[in-house]
A and B are shown apart, each in its own frame.
Chain A
Amino acid sequence: MSSLFAFTLLGLFTGAAYAIMASGLVLTYATTRVFNIAHGAFGMVLAFTFWDFSQRQGLPTLLSLFLVLGVVAPAIGWGIQRFVTRGLGEGPVSVALVVTVGLLVGLIGLAQYIWPPEPRVLLPFHAETGWQVGDTYITAHQLITIICSIVVAVGLYLLLNRTRVGTAMRASVDNPELLKFFGGKPDTAAALAWAIGMSLAALAGILLTPVVGLDYYALTLLVINAYAAAMLGRLKSLPLTFAGAMGLGILESLAVAYLPTDGFWSTIRPVIPALFLFVVVVAMPQTQLRIGQVKGIIAAPVPTVRKSLASGGVLLAFAFVLIGIVSRADVLLIGVAATYAMVMLSLVLLTGYGGHVSLAQFTFAGVGALAYAKLDEPNLLGLVLAALIAAAVGALVALPVLRLTGLYLALSTLAFAVLMDKVIFQADFAFKFNGTLATERLSVFGIQIASDTAYVWFMVLAFVLMGLFLLWLRRGALGRILIATRDSPSGCGTLGLDLRWFRVGLFSLSAGMAGVAGALFSGLRGTVGAADFLYFQSLLVLLAAVVFGVTSVTGSLLGGTALMLLRSSSPELTAVLFAILGFGAVLLARDPNGTANHLFKLGRWSTNRVLPRWEEQFRERLDGLLKANRPQPARSVDVPVEAAIEEPKGVS
């Protein structure tokens, strides 16, 4: 009995730190409708900053703490609201998601660049002090955490309910235009909310560092704990968020105490927040369709059949030549690029055409790879089965969140990716912890594609076929319906479309496409393991897809190639490239047509304006290089749509 009490008490301490982090997340979301996936990443960077001040530069602890919480964090929060997230809340959820995922990846890159990997220790506050309470030992650090969380709770309550600017923050959620008529400044309120939110992220990061370690990824992932807690309060109620955080802390603590320390169950502990989140999301009531939404117009040029076939042919020929002249290692890299490109094609379908964001696309590739390896059917049947299994898993992920869309769907996919990464892929029935599975390259009609060159060319062929399939889909009835659901979900509903099942089908098809990519990838090197499908890869794939154009096949090709170059670069460079990719996505997320579209425009400009006699030559080259198509006039890009999103209002 007393040990139950002891573990509950310990859980409260972690819960208190989660509560601080979650309340910052709720504060920023509730006042600006921008869900900051990078909330944990900011906490991570600021914890590193604190380490830098207090350990590397040797400033006194209290001074460092004041500098981080009182100066650096608020300044960052103010700047982010001012220059990055302002106006995102009114736009489509997918854009806000991509921007904050971009921040997350960019911050990890930045942190690795400024503080290269080396052992760093951040000691608990007053490490030597503690008290014996019954049979439990309470450290000063734990007590400080609890006190901090109480101070935060009381402070936020007073701010939001007892001050005019706090009242204005809540008012700006209801109706920012009206607040202006009152003479209030919604932007100031939003900037203040972000400044405070950032300080809370920093405080939570610093308090949790002695527990989880000064680690780029572990601290970043704390955002899952935070939003699992915040979800209990539906991203608006602070008291429920605190309750959720405490519950989560206790749950984790009890898991440590009572779950077996070895075997499958031992791996559950790190994913308790993700599981907790699933339960909460599934238990949430259904949302209604909204009408009167902003219309979205993303104009991805759809090439003609002839053009796409020709471009595909040119790409295959080009790949054939390239594979013939480069070294074996580089041939394998082309295979990796084709894998990324295929996964990005699945995102073109889901995000580019459908307007939904998935943060688990590479995990579906992992499911395909695992299925292919386990089936041990190295032929087309095995490939198809692997794709079907990935598609089924995709449908399973979409099912629980069938009734919700946008933000919640995306967050659930992130939780799913973490769950697969940390538990399923590492389980004994899968790749095993740190293990790999041997795979065989597939044979087509009895002939095994054994050589590297032939196999990689086959992968390029698979990409081309998948791209043609996608364009065929886009031109047909399904493509039109996809665009229609994105432009006006209510319109589709009142015409008789069951949006929920359509969404599940879309998700499933997209997961199946990623599954094919994964299955082919597993044959590339002959071995495949959990390390190939870390959740983080999915974020990189999404960002690269957005940067290079998530509405076109050309964008996938460019993105796949770029991501391959990034992943194969030297570790020192990786940090910089993360930062470029992440912050690049922040800049480009508002234009989902991406870099590819600028190439289309360039093509159009050159065909129309620049030296008409070069026209033929130039376009041929462009077509050959890009598998781009006849550059078509790109229509203006208005605010794209996001479907029926339930947007919780108000902080209480």
Chain B
Amino acid sequence: MASTTLLEVDDVIVRFGGVTAVNHAAFTAERGRITGLIGPNGAGKTTCFNVITGLQKPTSGRVRYRDRDVTRWAVNRRAKHGIGRTFQRLEAFGSLSVRDNVRVAQEIHGGPLAWLRPGGSLLGVDILLERVGIADYAEERADSIPTGAARLLELARALACEPQLLLLDEPSSGLDETETDAFGDLLKELADEGCAILMVEHDMDLVMTVCDEIHVLDFGEIIASGTPADIRTDRNVQRAYLGYSEDDPAAGHTSEMEVVTP
């Protein structure tokens, strides 16, 4: 089993001033598996992502990736080694078209030599857009498409860099039911191809159906870990996690209720 471990977060602590955002967090992500991180807003999930991708330095603790200590690696170096992510607050390139967003990701991934080569095939880009289901938006500017589509665009952009570890920060918010189902299928496909997926998500339906393992964070601490079935019946989880957090409405979200059904 140990050989499938791609990422290991080891006793990470992050403090902002006197507030502990992440407290002794420890979990792993395995190749070919989908791991869910859930918990109320402010529980430290996004901070964990920032630590893993290098956007936030941990106060203490280690991040190991492919059996190497990457705690001190720069953001771009981690990306080059296969850590891809999407953002909760969208970071799409607003003034580029959807197609160019993915294209630029591919070009960045290709390295400086690829920048000077003229042309380049758009085939791979269009296949990716098709795969995540936003091919219809290809010509639109990225800041003019709906939030759900923009989240899928960020996923396509991350996939363009051929990640081995994929971090998804609330990927389904903004998607309707059918889109969420299709998205869940896509995640399973990606996992089957060998990708390790770590996902912060509020849609419990999605989490319960696609995740192989779930960690529940509260006040920066992991209060429960296990399979969806375990989590559903865990007392700690019931006490701490009764609701769903409210997104920043400025980021846009659906007016659909996200209802949990057992």
Contacts and interface: CB of A to CB of B under 8 A. Distances in A.
A292 interface: yes
A288 B56 CA distance: 7
Given A481-B107, A483-B95, A484-B96, A496 B79 contact: yes
A495 B161 contact: yes
Instruction: Bin the interface of chain B by size.
Output: 35 or more
Interface in A494-509: 494-499
A476 interface: yes
Contacts of A493: 54-55, 75-76, 79
A301 B107 CA distance: 22
Contact of A488 (B53, B92, B114): B92
Contacts of A296: 94-95
B1 to A, nearest CB: 29
Interface string B83-102: 11101010111111000110
Interface string A291-332: 110011111000000000000000000000000000000000
A495 B105 contact: yes
Contacts of A484: 93, 96, 101, 104, 108
Given A490-B55, A490-B87, A495-B108, A289 B75 contact: yes
A428 to B, nearest CB: 40
Given A291-B50, A483-B96, A494 B75 contact: yes
A489 B94 CA distance: 12
B103 interface: yes
A477 B141 contact: no
Nearest to A505: B112
Interface string A472-490: 0000111011011011101
Nearest to B144: A635
Interface string A148-159: 000000000000
Q: Is the interface of A mostly helix, strand, loop or mixed?
A: loop
Residue picked from B100, B109, B115, B157, most chain A C-beta under 10 Å: B115
Interface string A12-41: 000000000000000000000000000000
Interface in B150-193: 154, 157-158, 160-161
Interface in B44-101: 50, 53-57, 74-76, 79-80, 83-85, 87, 89, 91-96, 100-101
B92 A498 contact: no
Contacts of B76: 493-494, 496-499
B109 A495 contact: yes
A289 B104 CA distance: 19
B249 interface: no
A638 B143 CA distance: 11
A299 B95 contact: yes
B96 A487 contact: yes
Contacts of B262: none
B109 A496 contact: yes
B18 interface: no
Contacts of B120: 477
B74 A498 contact: yes
Contact of B94 (A288, A295, A481): A295
A494 B96 contact: no
B108 A497 contact: yes
Contact of B104 (A291, A295, A480, A499): A480
A116 interface: no
A490 B91 contact: yes
Contacts of B85: 494
B79 A635 contact: no
Nearest to B83: A494
Contacts, number: 114
A487 B93 contact: yes
A647 B168 CA distance: 28
Contacts of A291: 50, 55, 87, 89, 91
Contacts of B157: 491, 495
Contacts of A488: 91-94
A478 B111 CA distance: 11
Contact of A496 (B101, B103, B161): B161
Nearest to A491: B91
A295 B90 CA distance: 9
A439 B151 CA distance: 58
B93 A289 contact: no
A299 B97 CA distance: 12
A392 interface: no
A412 to B, nearest CB: 22
A289 B109 contact: no
B161 A288 contact: no
A487 B95 contact: yes
A477 B85 CA distance: 22
A646 B74 CA distance: 17
Contacts of B115: 476-478, 481
With most chain B CB atoms within 10 A of its CB, the pick from A486, A494, A638 is: A494
A577 B135 CA distance: 52
Nearest to B248: A292
A282 B157 CA distance: 35
Interface in B122-136: none
Interface string B209-240: 00000000000000000000000000000000
Contacts of B100: 480
A278 to B, nearest CB: 24
A214 B105 CA distance: 55
Nearest to B101: A484
A477 B105 CA distance: 10
Contacts of B80: 496
B53 A494 contact: yes
A297 B141 CA distance: 10
B63 to A, nearest CB: 15
A62 B105 CA distance: 65
A488 B83 CA distance: 18
Given A490-B75, A495-B79, 12 more contacts: A289-B55, A296-B95, A476-B116, A477-B107, A480-B103, A480-B107, A481-B107, A487-B94, A493-B54, A494-B79, A494-B83, A494-B85
The 3 closest A-B pairs by CB, nearest first: A496-B79, A491-B91, A493-B75
18 contacts: A288-B57, A292-B87, A295-B94, A483-B95, A484-B93, A484-B96, A487-B93, A488-B91, A490-B75, A490-B91, A491-B92, A491-B93, A493-B75, A494-B53, A494-B84, A494-B85, A495-B79, A495-B108
